[in-house]
Chain A
Amino acid sequence: MAQEHISRKPRDKDSSDQAQESVTKSSDKAALDSEVDDLLDDIDSVLEENAEEFVASFVQKGGE
């Protein structure tokens, strides 16, 4: 049964965790800043165009 393959536990260490540890262990400001700069470059490439118009047109009705 396929369901048996669903681990009921989180993965203790996957590669992304390990990569991240090196970042979070040092709260060194310079290291964080340079990681953020990389992230921003990545985000720039996917951010919706015409942010002002896009955000203004995001109007929701209530729910719940």
Chain B
Amino acid sequence: MTVRRVMGIETEYGISVPGREDVSATVASAHVVTAYSRQMPGANRQRVRWEFGDESPLRDARGFDMSRADADPSQLTDEDFGYANAVLPNGARLYVDHAHPEYSSPEVTNPLDAVLYDAAGEEIMRRSLAELQADPQTPTIRLYKNNSDSKGASYGTHENYLMSRATPFQAIAAALIPFFVCRPVITGSGRIGIGRAGELPGFQISSRADYFEEEIGLETTMRRPIINTRDEPHADANEYRRLHVIVGDANMSQTATYLKLGFTSLVLHAVEAGVDFGDLALVEPVIQMHEVSYDTELTRTMLLRDGRKLTAIDLLEIYLERATKSVLEHDEQTDDVIERVGQILGQLRADKWTLASELDWVAKLRILEGYRKRDGLDWNAPALAMVDLQYSDIDSHRGLANKLMAKGSLKTLFGQDQIDLAVDEPPIDTRAWFRGKCVTRFPSEVAAASWDAVVFDTPGNEALQRISTLDPFKGTRAHVASLFDRAGTADEFLALLEQS
């Protein structure tokens, strides 16, 4: 293993209905989810419910049932909408989490695919809005791939990495705390305002840093910890743990997402290989995390427990060097991540503005500084806050990051044709392929699905049939494509699965 491992990104999108404060965010979010479901292959069918696991009686699995799916969205209550859920042809999950539409990408095996399926999530949100707004009676809805309203509320973009259970959690946490404190200089999306509610005027590198208050913990919504201890592996728990990373910013820049997943996976590889990062422990890491975010000149030093004083760039260079040394088997993507991270750290040291075409926070800051200079604006000018928000608008024309990408001012790694394919096709090399193909091929017979199971309700069987997909590496195209090819019906498919 190198940068390659099972991974994925969950993104909660910010949502607003301008001029309609009476519409609840939960209802609006459910509109987004159900609108996409309506245009999926086999629409008008029963929507695939989320399967909540062995302990829940399947017939009681929460989600839309037939009658709810057929109802006009306006007839549904807030509570109904809270359960809006769809399992998508590309293996992702689209649902309402609290008061946000959330896209959980399918499991992929490498950082580039993670970028592709994250971008597919943006496209899915765009298509959903297009479907909704085609009805003139629907109020205008805006979706933002960001993390904060700058009034105190924050919502997450969570990364997930499958790791070996054999690696001690303490070693993981010790290595990752300083890494996550420093990582935003590459992965930050930038934010106007200092403090959780933007109490002080200014600009900071990370949109998330101010919302973190602890070093290690289970919470995600209050007293957020740098290291989150949630550990539902959705896989064999004896063999694997799932590292649930909640500190990350939502990135518009594909390069930032790529290096976020790539560099993190590389460091995890080093930790799994026994590389010790213990000497990099910081004094007061939570405070350092905030201070790194405020230091747009990238020159501030942090005090380490051993007395050294290093900048975020210094520390990340140490991480890169040690992790690179631990790589024994090289592959193209691993070498590319190592090379690009090295280049970017060098550029950050020399002249950050050379990264305005690659990193979100630099791209955003350059625009904001341009406005400040041209129009003589202070940091608390509403126009600057508008730029900050609209940078992450997912709309192709209105969204500022998308505008930069269309003009070539922000580099992309994937073209629209590749993203369109990833909307409909699951990754071929994980169980997401099985899940995605099941809901595409047998939309009427898949009663529920989750990361680790697909549940069939077929004419030929009185009982529901739960197909476990506990192993993320099984159910790939290579494993099961021939079964899909040979089966005419869902019952035939299940019979073939049983024989295989």
Contacts and interface: CB of A to CB of B under 8 A. Distances in A.
Chains A and B come from one and the same complex:
yes
Contact of A40 (B99, B100, B367, B405): B367
B39 interface: no
Nearest to B412: A16
Contact of A63 (B221, B351, B403, B422): B221
A19 B98 contact: no
A8 B15 CA distance: 32
Given A51-B386, A60-B153, A60-B155, A6 B246 contact: no
Interface residues of A, number: 44
B14 interface: yes
A3 B409 CA distance: 29
Interface stretch (B172-180, B234-242, B413-421, B443-451): B413-421
B408 A19 contact: yes
B102 A8 contact: no
B175 to A, nearest CB: 24
Contacts, number: 157
Contacts of A61: 25, 98-100, 153
* Residue of B220, B258, B354 with most partner-chain A CB within 10 A: B354
Contacts of A52: 382
A48 B99 contact: no
* Residue of B12, B258, B369, B386 with most partner-chain A CB within 10 A: B386
A51 B144 CA distance: 16
B98 A40 contact: no
Given A6-B421, A10-B413, A55 B389 contact: yes
A50 to B, nearest CB: 9
A35 B408 CA distance: 12
A7 B289 CA distance: 37
Interface of B: 12, 14-16, 18-19, 21, 25, 97-100, 102, 110, 112-113, 116, 148-149, 151, 153-156, 158, 220-221, 246, 258, 332, 351, 353-357, 366-367, 369-371, 374, 382-383, 385-387, 389-390, 397-398, 400, 403-405, 407-409, 411-415, 418, 421-422, 424-426, 428, 477, 481
27 contacts: A10-B112, A10-B413, A16-B408, A23-B357, A35-B409, A36-B366, A36-B370, A43-B367, A43-B387, A47-B383, A48-B18, A48-B398, A51-B382, A51-B383, A54-B389, A57-B16, A58-B151, A59-B149, A59-B153, A60-B25, A60-B100, A60-B153, A61-B153, A62-B99, A63-B155, A63-B221, A64-B97
A60 B97 CA distance: 13
Nearest to B113: A8
Interface of A: 1-3, 5-11, 14-17, 19-20, 23-24, 27, 32-33, 35-37, 39-40, 42-43, 46-48, 51-52, 54-64
What 9 A-B pairs come out closest when comparing CB atoms?
Answer: A16-B408, A63-B155, A10-B413, A51-B386, A52-B382, A61-B99, A36-B370, A64-B220, A60-B149
A30 to B, nearest CB: 13
Contacts of A36: 366-367, 369-370
Given A24-B354, A60-B149, A64-B158, A55 B386 contact: yes
